[in-house]
Amino acid sequence: MDDKALFLKAQSVLDNAYAPYSNFKVGAAVLTKSGKVYTGVNVENSSYGATICAERSAILSAVSDGEKDFAAIAIASSSGEAYPCGICRQFMYEFGDDIRIITGEDSDNLNVHTIEELLPKGFRLK
């Protein structure tokens, strides 16, 4: 799957996000190294700390299905380009330092970074 198709998959789940407090909807699509794609959305909560980001939602779905090797993740939002928060960057780094992060205003204007670029010297117990 190419970057544009993965980004479009992230965009396709935006309406499923539950964001009644921020109205900032985010969709994510994670591509495993085996070629499977899992989606996730942000789910807000009255107790803000219980909110989960779309990136972690997608990765949790993949892990729940036995996948732990990720090639890329695309992130789309209802309000323009969105990069993963610090917690999500650390969460992604847990699964490898070569994961590609795809963001953009739309599918024709994409930016691609590695998790290593967005979280240099990330933390991992080994």
Coil, strand or helix at 118? helix
The C-alpha atoms of residue 14 and residue 67 are separated, in whole angstroms, by 23
How far is Cα 33 from Cα 85, in angstroms, rounded to an integer? 23
Cα–Cα distance measured from residue 9 to residue 94, given in angstroms and rounded to the nearest whole number: 23
Q: Are 41 and 52 in contact (CB under 8 A)?
A: no
116 is catalytic: no
Task: Point out the catalytic residue in the list 55, 81, 94, 117.
Answer: 55
Q: How many residues does the chain have?
A: 126
User: Which residues are identified as catalytic?
Assistant: 55
